[in-house]
A and B are shown apart, each in its own frame.
Chain A
Amino acid sequence: MATSDDGHYTRFDTSMLDDADFCDTGLLNRALGNLDHLADQCAQQRIGWVLPLGKDPFVVDKTQTPGTTYFSSDGLLNELWRSAAFDLHVRENNATYPCAVRVRIGSAHAVEQATITAALVPWTRPAGSEIIENGVNAAVGVHVGVAHAWQLLAPLIYLDSHMVNRATWTVSSANSVGGADVGARWIRVQLVIAGMVSAATATAELSGCSLREYITP
């Protein structure tokens, strides 16, 4: 849920901030709302691409034998693409901000369907064991057709508190240019996209993906 009662940022007139005035509780009330709203709007676009014209879509590695489940006949995840490890904002309840995932997919077949799942997977964890049906970190999309189309996956996905703990790493950062190393904690999570098809004549294809954090109303 959005955290600001006002639901927006409120500008202050500088004349309201005179040192000689008493504290105005109403003003400070809005200052709190502003911080809550700015924190909500810190939501970032973490992934955003569509293929340049003429480039081949992502499909399962040709050395695998794709199956009609998310796993190939040789037991490997039918992975189409995997993002860089990225950060997510963490809320007060230790879950991440929800993420809206949109994928541009095709099935390379007129009537057979391609099903893809997009899952947030803590970095270095095996994706196959982190994609859980109806898990809070995974959403599914289905498409039939040779022409690719964008599809907004539902529901929004996130890492719960346990997953956040698994995805939290200490990295070497600095607080000034040329400054000493400091250990900073942040999330390292990847978006893994796997596919399956309704018949072997179809192919799950991926030609675009976006992921943005969003605090729902």
Chain B
Amino acid sequence: MTATVPETRVDLSQDEALISLGVRAVTWQHAVRLHNWIAGRPAVLVPCTVPRASVGAGLSADFPFWVKPRYQDVRLLYSLLLTTESECQATIKINGVGVGTGFRIREQRNAAWFSFVRELALQSTTEQELVFTVEATGGTVFVDGLMIEALPRTSLAIDANDLGSDRVLLGIRQPISERTMSANLLDLQSALRDSARRTGFHISWGSLTPYSTVSASYVGMLEGSIMNLGRFLYASDTTRSMIWAAKCYASDASTSAEIRMVNDAGITYITMPAGTTTATWFTKAMTVDAEDNTFSTGLRGGVHDDHMSGVIRTAGSGTVYVETISTLEI
């Protein structure tokens, strides 16, 4: 049993379901179509980001990201923009598996994005790491863009995971029972709400040239701030809960660090304990502005919720390294 995912959304009219009026079956057909559209249209796992990292000839760099797929995600599209100042070649891997060698890398004006499709090992909503690897041969390669999207579904399984809704049971001229209505729309709606989430920004320095510091006071890791905006769901919403994640390590076992994220809601800290000598993900909950639908820009109070990230060495004498920062709704 499967449900078709429409390519285009439909706009429902609440005026078609008013107290004391009969509700036409076609109204529910449209409702199920929109339900399946929300569940089946693809989400972004990593919005287009720019490490601007260089990978020297003969060297290799990983660009890791912390993501939470939707259960509906099956295939992912990985996009990568590589440039150079003198034509050379590169080998590219996705999650450790090669997708080809000898990619011809061109200068900026002639550069083109490479795209690769990879299937997930299984459908799940488990938070996980996805990694690009770039190996340069014959010249220095600049990583000028990365993005990960899910591909669209054309049909959904009719169950509580894939969240497909069966339109056939709401057929025109067919009697519609309360049980059918509950099972096909109402019972699924909270799961649909949780599934249709939005990710935030991801910044990666890469494993070859991670951000590094020995500073005992906070130092910024970015050229400037960057905005984040959560979904607006309930009438009283002003903020939304998200998490942010940092992949970091130290040059020796005695060094510890703290990484902070500053935004409108305040400051949250990730603590990297001493002994973290291999790159490890740490996560932390944070609060971000929820979209404000009373403003033409959607910004809460008309102002961007700008985020700024910094790092400090809290103990030891080694160097602290940060490979990636990811933000996402979970």
The residues of A with any CB-CB pair to B shorter than 8 Å are: 2-9, 11-12, 17-23, 25-39, 41-56, 58, 61, 63-64, 76, 79, 81-87, 89-92, 94, 100, 102, 104, 148, 150, 152, 171-179, 182-186, 191, 207-212, 214-217
Contacts and interface: CB of A to CB of B under 8 A. Distances in A.
B265 interface: no
A155 B260 CA distance: 34
10 contacts: A7-B293, A8-B232, A30-B14, A31-B31, A53-B222, A58-B144, A81-B50, A87-B42, A90-B7, A92-B10
A150 B155 CA distance: 41
The 8 closest A-B pairs by CB, nearest first: A84-B79, A48-B201, A61-B109, A84-B147, A55-B52, A173-B151, A29-B17, A47-B48
A11 B154 contact: no
Nearest to B5: A184
B279 interface: no
Given A9-B233, A31-B31, A45 B186 contact: no
A133 B91 CA distance: 40
Tell which of A35, A175, A212 has the most Cβ of chain B within 10 Å: A35
Tell which of B53, B119, B200, B223 has the most Cβ of chain A within 10 Å: B223
B59 interface: no
A77 B296 CA distance: 31
Contacts of B109: 61, 63-64, 76, 79
Contacts of B214: none
Interface in B96-138: 107-109, 113, 115, 117, 119-123
B51 interface: yes
B189 interface: yes
Contact of B48 (A4, A18, A46, A148): A46
A102 B296 contact: no
B155 A175 contact: yes
A174 B151 CA distance: 8
Interface in B179-224: 179, 181-182, 185-187, 189-190, 192-193, 196, 198-203, 205, 211, 220-224
A19 B179 contact: yes
B313 interface: no
B38 A38 contact: yes
Given A41-B231, A53-B222, A177 B122 contact: yes
Given A8-B234, A25-B18, A49 B74 contact: no
Interface in B254-272: none
Contacts of A17: 182, 186-187
Contact of A148 (B12, B37, B119, B224): B224
Question: Interface residue tally of chain B, by bracket?
Answer: 35 or more
Nearest to B43: A44
A107 B11 CA distance: 43
Given A8-B235, A9-B193, A92 B224 contact: no
A8 B233 contact: yes
A37 to B, nearest CB: 8
Given A25-B17, A38-B193, A86-B147, A207 B224 contact: yes
Interface in B33-56: 34-35, 37-38, 41-44, 47-53
B48 A83 contact: yes
A199 to B, nearest CB: 23
A94 B8 contact: yes
Interface string B221-241: 111111111011111010000
B278 interface: no
Contacts of B31: 31-32, 35
B316 interface: no
Nearest to A40: B293
Contacts of A47: 47-49
Given A8-B232, A84-B79, A52 B205 contact: yes
Contact of A46 (B23, B44, B291, B306): B44
Contacts of B47: 44-49, 210
B75 interface: yes
Nearest to A57: B223
Contact of B153 (A61, A83, A173): A173
A39 B221 contact: no
A13 to B, nearest CB: 11
B294 interface: yes
B119 to A, nearest CB: 6
Contact of A176 (B52, B123, B151): B123
Given A90-B9, A186-B42, A217-B293, A52 B51 contact: yes
Contacts of A182: 154-155
B297 to A, nearest CB: 6
B304 interface: yes
Tell which of B53, B199, B224, B234 has the most Cβ of chain A within 10 Å: B224
B48 A49 contact: yes
Contacts of B53: 52
A177 B81 CA distance: 27
Given A32-B31, A52-B221, A152-B304, A100 B14 contact: no
